[in-house]
Amino acid sequence: MPRMNNDSEAVIAVNRFGLGARGSELTAAARDPRQWLTKQMVSPSYVASRFTTVAAFQQFSEYRQRVRDQRKAPAQNESSNMQDKGPSGAGTAPAKVIRQTQRALIFDGLWQSIMSAEPFSMRMLDFFSNHFSVSMTSIQLNVLAPLLELDAVAPHLFGQFEDMLIAVIKHPAMLVYLDNTQSTGPASRVGKKRQRGLNENLAREILELHTLGIDGGYSLGDIRELARALSGWSISRPRDKAQKGFVYRRDMHEPGARTLLGIPYRDGEVEQGEQMLRDLARHPATGRFVCHKLAQHLVSDMPDEGLVDAMSAQWQQTNGNLGAVIRVLIAHDASWREERQKFKTPREFVISTLRALEIQEASPPRFLRQLHRHLRDMGQAPFGSGSPAGYPISNRHWDGADALMKRIDWANTVVAVSAQSNKSALEISSRLFSTQLDGATRQAMERAETDRQARALLFLSPDFQRR
Amino acid sequence: MNRRQWLAAVGSSLVCWHSRGAALSNQKTPKLVWLVLRGAMDGLHAVLPLADSDLLRHREKLVTAVQERAHRLDRGFALHPALPTLAKLYRQKELLTIVATSSGATTRSHFRAQDILESGYNRADNESGWLNRAVEAKRGQSLAVAHGVPISLRGRHLTQTWYPDHFVESKGDLFERLQSLYSEDDLLSQRLMSGLQTRDKLSVIDQVNRRNRFAQLASSCGTLMRAEDGPDCAMLQLEGWDTHQGQVRRLQTKFSELDAGIVSLRTALRNEWDNTVVIVATEFGRTVAANGTLGTDHGTGSALFLLGGAVAGGRVLGEWPGLKKSELFMGRDLAPTSDNRSWIGAVLKQHWQLTDQQLNNVFPEVPPAPERIIKSDLMRDTTVLG
């Protein structure tokens, strides 16, 4: 296949693999579109200063203590509870603090993507954050969930998959979300004394969703063996002063040698589970599963088989080096077909629109400070998929009628509140598509009543909705 | 051309792709509404077992606050005073109350139990919901009144979602321009038309007054369902049932909200109400005894409501397990004597005529209850009761 000119490839690099051009990104990409992508393969330079996992634990402990105090207090009569807002009660600071933290963390994540000079890297972060999906299903998870992406996913984005896997599984958000914190080996000290047992949720989802995939050829016995190896992988208790976060509890760990997928593992402590995760990460079925999903995320719901084959082969050769696998994807011609096969998700749509408008970080209007609410309205609340499988990747989940109406309303509002942008609609369109813009879109924009309407039409055009 | 004229102009072409199911039957299709009460509704406060002499011993303050005004049902049960519409439906034989039911969940975690309630499996599958499997078997259409697709409607069958948003609504001119911009794009122009149709079906009031109150959502849901090409089933949800404290006052509010929602759903459905079954369920019940903050904690057995014009109502069903200490589940909870899924299965069998094989796919672990749930004159196949 003849190589396209750099202009076409740059449009693809910026829109398909990035998050739409911000500023003069397209010009930069046009010099060498593929290199423009590989240069972004660094862990996102996230400003994580606002919050840490340790602080999250602190906040949650305070909150819980407060709730306990309230419950223990003698029952007051009904009328004194008039301002009651659930267990948080009136004026309970910790719950409010947690809500503020939660909002700030979500907002930060979105603004990072909007401002990023490495949009491709942010797309990869979105992918793996969703691959290891945790949802804000409890007050504790409201603050822990965003930290998983920050602490465990981002640092390993272009490194070995096994390192990311282990960091994710040890992260408190995952251990809490998939119920591993209380999982106890029946033959462990605690298991024998208190008749407690295993919880297989985490082990099952690791095999089904994180590594081998549902058709990856594992048995119920494998789930149990992995669950036994992971028993005792827990989190610190609020009163633990020395340690915050992941804690390995020996007295809950099932002793003994294990067998996973036919491979024997010696009796061991935390290393036993770590070794299993390492082997799972390197497994060819895992490579195939993750590569296929990655190609679906970036290129097409039905990705080219040759592309997935090449990526999977690289996975095996490098024991799952994500950077090497992604380089194969970038180098492959199937990734650069002109047809736009992916319908943007709400998140991609919203972020790429705001990038195109060159929204500035300093004091965004009220409308934009509520981005997380808008994404919820569009069905893709951050950390809100409600499923360990994360949000679906395929187009059909995002291109429904109500979804389109919401995009129209949102776009119509955002072009109004961002009126201070000094670029005209046509200028914005050439920064996104150079000369590749569809004739119908150009015509619609030129005929628009106002430039504001022209911008709305641009963002709602098939060119911009698909990538 | 304004939007209405434009819709009228394109209206004829809509029929082609929207009426696959509708064209088959001129008769009305049986409708189903699935309403999930999230947070664990206290079944003992909704349907008070006043005839059980142990009730007062466990939760005197909670009971005495409402028992005088409660609406009397059969078998010594009574409905909470804030549920007058449900009481009226009971008298009109359009409400079945089922006591001591469970979702099949053995966990006391809200979201795990909700996952089980929605997926319909003993071990929740977050990607496959019972209503999705049922409507797929029926080859029907479905609607989720939600931001995203809830588990109940996840799966192979593709559902529509609708929910009011926080955005300023766009005007006709932009839609016309978009329609022309999408003229070469089949998918987008189809979606736009379908989206505009939905907006058109909802009354002006729905559009202007966009606060997300449950009654309004229920009303919009009913309006969308009764439309000619409306969905066969819809899912609604109402949160806020986790009453660890101040239960008397909080449930007074919640039950009023629920009752008002049923009123507006019924009003919006108009004649379709006669073909409708509304299933009202929660993930688990609450402790029999009141706690120290005049609330109740996470428990097990709760209550299930089946209501609608199609329901053969006016009865309290479900075996009563009793409230003696020895009769309680784990010494603290109302012991469930039946599974929600057996009653829902019976609805699917009698209302939607699903076969045993299809039912087994929807709820593999629980067979349908044998009781008559649907009015017999509405049942096309009267042999289902054997």
- Helical spans, DSSP H, in A49-92: 53-72
Answer yes or no: is pLDDT of A341 > 70.
Answer: yes
**Judgement on whether residues B204 and B337 belong to the same structural domain of the protein:** no
In the predicted structure, residue A66 carries a pLDDT above the cut 70:
yes
Q: Do residue B189 and residue B89 come from a single domain?
A: no
User: What confidence tens digit (pLDDT) does each residue in A148-187 have?
Assistant: 998 899 999 999 999 999 999 999 999 999 989 999 999 9
Question: Under an 8 A CB cutoff, do A72 and B183 touch?
Answer: no
3-state secondary structure of B48: strand
Paired tokens of A363: 């004091």
Q: Does B192 map to a domain?
A: yes
* Three-state DSSP class for residue B2: coil
Residue by residue, what is the 3-state secondary structure of A355-404? HHCCCCCCCCCHHHHCHHHHHHHCCCCCCCCCCCCCCCCCHHHCCCHHHH
Please determine, for residue A310, whether its predicted confidence score (pLDDT) is greater than 80: yes
Count of domains in chain B?
Answer: 2
Whether the CB of B17 is below 8 Å from some CB of chain A: the reply is: no
Residues A326-344: b if buried by 16+ CB within 10 A, e if exposed: bbbbbebebbbeeebebbb
- With an 8 Å Cβ cutoff, are B149 and A379 in contact? yes
| Across A303-327, average pLDDT | 98
What pLDDT was estimated at residue B199?
84
In this predicted structure, what is the pLDDT of residue A74?
Answer: 53
Query: Tens digit of pLDDT for each residue in B189-245?
Result: 999 998 998 888 875 545 444 444 899 899 999 999 999 889 999 999 998 899 988
Q: Cβ atoms within 10 A of the Cβ of A462, count?
A: 18
Dihedral angle sign, alpha carbons of residues B80, B86, B88, B93 = negative
Q: CA-CA distance, A311 to A294, in Å (whole number)?
A: 10
Q: How far apart are CA A52 and CA B376, in angstroms?
A: 62
Instruction: Give CA–CA dist B102/B106, Å, rounded.
Output: 9
A62 part of a folded domain: yes
What is the pLDDT confidence band of residue A223, given thresholds at 50, 70 and 90?
very high
Q: A352, A344 in Cβ contact below 8 A?
A: yes
Q: Are residues B130 and B176 in the same domain?
A: no
Which has the higher per-residue pLDDT, A108 or B204?
Answer: A108
Query: What per-residue confidence (pLDDT) applies to B338?
Result: 97
pLDDT of the residue at A1: 44
Question: What does the pLDDT read at residue B386?
Answer: 35
Amino acid A51: pLDDT: 66
One domain for residues A452 and A355? yes
d(CA A302, CA B60): 62
Tens digit of each residue's pLDDT (9 = 90 or more) over A185-220? 999 999 999 888 899 989 999 999 999 998 899 998
Mean pLDDT of A67-80: 58
Question: Are residue B70 and residue B117 in the same domain, yes or no?
Answer: yes
Residue A364 sits in the same domain as residue A453: yes
A408 to B178: CB separation less than 8 angstroms, yes or no: yes
Do both A147 and A186 map to the same domain? no
pLDDT band at A97 (very low <50, low <70, confident <90, very high): confident
User: Helix %, strand %, coil % for chain B, to 5?
Assistant: 45, 15, 40
pLDDT (0 to 100) of residue A47: 55
Average pLDDT (B302-327) is 97
What is the arithmetic mean of pLDDT over A377-398? 91
Contact check, Cβ <8 Å, A81/B245: yes
Do residue B195 and residue A405 have CB atoms under 8 angstroms apart? yes
The answer to whether B168 contacts A412, with C-beta atoms less than 8 Å apart, is yes
AA identity, residue A113: S
Please indicate, yes or no, whether residues B109 and B153 belong to a single structural domain of this protein: yes
- What CATH number is attached to the domain comprising B91? 3.40.720.10
Cα within 13 Å of Cα(A217), Cβ side: 9
Q: Say how far apart CA A238 and CA A70 lie, in whole Å.
A: 17
Q: Which residue among A230, A261, A282 closes a domain?
A: A282
- Residue range A76-93: mean pLDDT, rounded: 44
How far lies B175's CA from each of A218, A277, B53, B179, B188, in Å?
51, 52, 64, 6, 12
Confidence at residue B379, expressed as pLDDT on a 0 to 100 scale:
58
Amino acid at B121: Y
- Grouping H, G, I as helix, E, B as strand and the rest as coil, residue A439 is helix
Question: Does residue A13 sit within a domain?
Answer: no
Number of helices (H), then strands (E), belonging to chain B: the values are 13, 12
Q: Is the domain of B106 the same as that of B237? A: yes
Asked if A396's CB is within 8 angstroms of B244's CB, the reply is no
Mutate to test the interface with B, among A406, A407, A449, A463 (most CBs of B within 10 A): A406
Instruction: Identify the DSSP state of B169.
Output: P
Residue B14 domain flag: no
By Cβ distance, the residue of B154, B163, B294 closest to A75 is B294
The tokens describing B295, both together, are 């609330």
Intra-chain end-to-end CA distance of chain B, in Å: 58
Task: Supply the mean pLDDT for chain B.
Answer: 87
Q: Do B110 and B225 reside in the same domain of the chain?
A: yes
Among A99-113, A360-374, A402-416, the range with the most confident prediction by mean pLDDT is A402-416
Q: What is the pLDDT of residue B142?
A: 95
pLDDT value of position B303: 98
A:B CB pairs within 8 Å: 151
Residues 6 or more apart in contact with residue A137 via CB below 8 angstroms: A177, A386, B110, B111
- Dig out the tokens for B215 from the structure: 């009654």
Assembly ipTM: 0.87
Q: Are residues B321 and B191 in the same domain?
A: no
Residue range B146-169, pLDDT digits in tens = 888 899 999 999 888 888 877 777
**Both tokens of residue B291?**
């706690």
Chain A residue whose CA is closest to B185: A462
- What tokens does B303 get? 């209550």
Residue A40, domain member (yes or no): no
CA angle B146, B148, B150 (to 5 degrees): 75
Q: Residue type for B170, please?
A: S
Q: At what angle do helices A346-356 and A425-433 cross, to 10 degrees?
A: 120
pLDDT of residue A125: 96
Nearest CB to B187; choose among A399, A405, A408? A399
Domain that holds residue B148: 28-163+214-385
Q: What's the pLDDT score for residue A2?
A: 45
Q: Which residue has the higher pLDDT, B9 or A197?
A: A197
User: Smallest Cβ distance to A387: which of B127, B162, B173?
Assistant: B127
Cross-chain residue pair B183–A440, CB shorter than 8 Å: yes
Q: What is the pLDDT of residue A241?
A: 74
Tell me the average pLDDT across A426-435.
93
What is the model's pLDDT at position B64? Answer: 96
Question: Measured between CB atoms, does B88 come within 8 Å of chain A?
Answer: no
**Within-domain flag for B291:** yes
Report the alpha-carbon distance of residue B336 to residue B105 in Å, rounded: 11
In total, chain B counts a number of residues equal to 386
Residues 6+ positions from B204 with CB-CB distance below 8 Å: none
In a domain, B47, yes or no: yes
Mean pLDDT of all residues in B28-51: 95
Q: Are residues A148 and A184 in the same domain?
A: no
- Cα A463 to Cα B183: distance, rounded to the nearest angstrom: 13
Is residue A88's pLDDT more than 50? Answer: no
Do B244 and B354 fall within a single domain?
yes
pLDDT score of B333 more than 50: yes
Distances (CA, A) of A463 to A7, A147, A456, B188: 16, 34, 13, 11
What is the span of the domain harbouring residue A245? 178-282
> A185 and A146, same structural domain?
no
CB-based contacts of A288: which residues, under 8 Å, 6+ apart? Answer: A213, A308, A312, A315
State how many domains chain A has.
3
Q: Are B126 and A441 inside 8 Å of each other by CB?
A: no
Cα angle at A157 between A154 and A161, to 5 degrees? Answer: 120
Report residue B358's pLDDT band, with 50, 70 and 90 as the boundaries.
Answer: very high
Write the DSSP string, B114-142: HHHHHH-SSS--TT--HHHHHHHHHT--E
- Average of per-residue pLDDT across A335-352: 96
Task: Answer whether A401 sits within 8 Å of B191, measured CB to CB.
Answer: yes
Mean pLDDT of A291-300: 98
Q: Return all residues near A5 (Cβ < 8 A) that are at least 6 apart.
A: none
Window 37-76 of A: residues touching B by CB (8 A cutoff) are: 70-76
Which has the higher per-residue pLDDT, B69 or B158? B69
Q: Are residues B177 and B156 in the same domain?
A: no
- The reply to whether A460 and A354 lie within a common domain is yes
**Residue B170: band (very low, low, confident or very high) from pLDDT cuts 50, 70, 90:** confident
- Taking 50 as the threshold, does the pLDDT of residue B352 lie above it? yes
Flag whether pLDDT at A325 surpasses 60: yes
Both A153 and A100 in a single domain?
Answer: yes
- Rounded to whole angstroms, the Cα distance separating B247 from B253 reads 10
Task: Retrieve residue B302's tokens.
Answer: 């709760």
| B5 domain residue, yes or no | no
Residue B18 is assigned to a structural domain of this protein: no
Determine contact: A404 vs chain B, CB below 8 A. Answer: yes
The answer as to whether B19 is a domain residue is no
For residue B18, what pLDDT is reported?
Answer: 38
Residues of A in contact with B161 (CB under 8 A): 379, 400, 402-403
pLDDT for position A92? 55
pLDDT of residue B300: 96
- Round to whole Å and give the CA distance between B173 and B171: 6
B87 and B218 together in one domain: yes
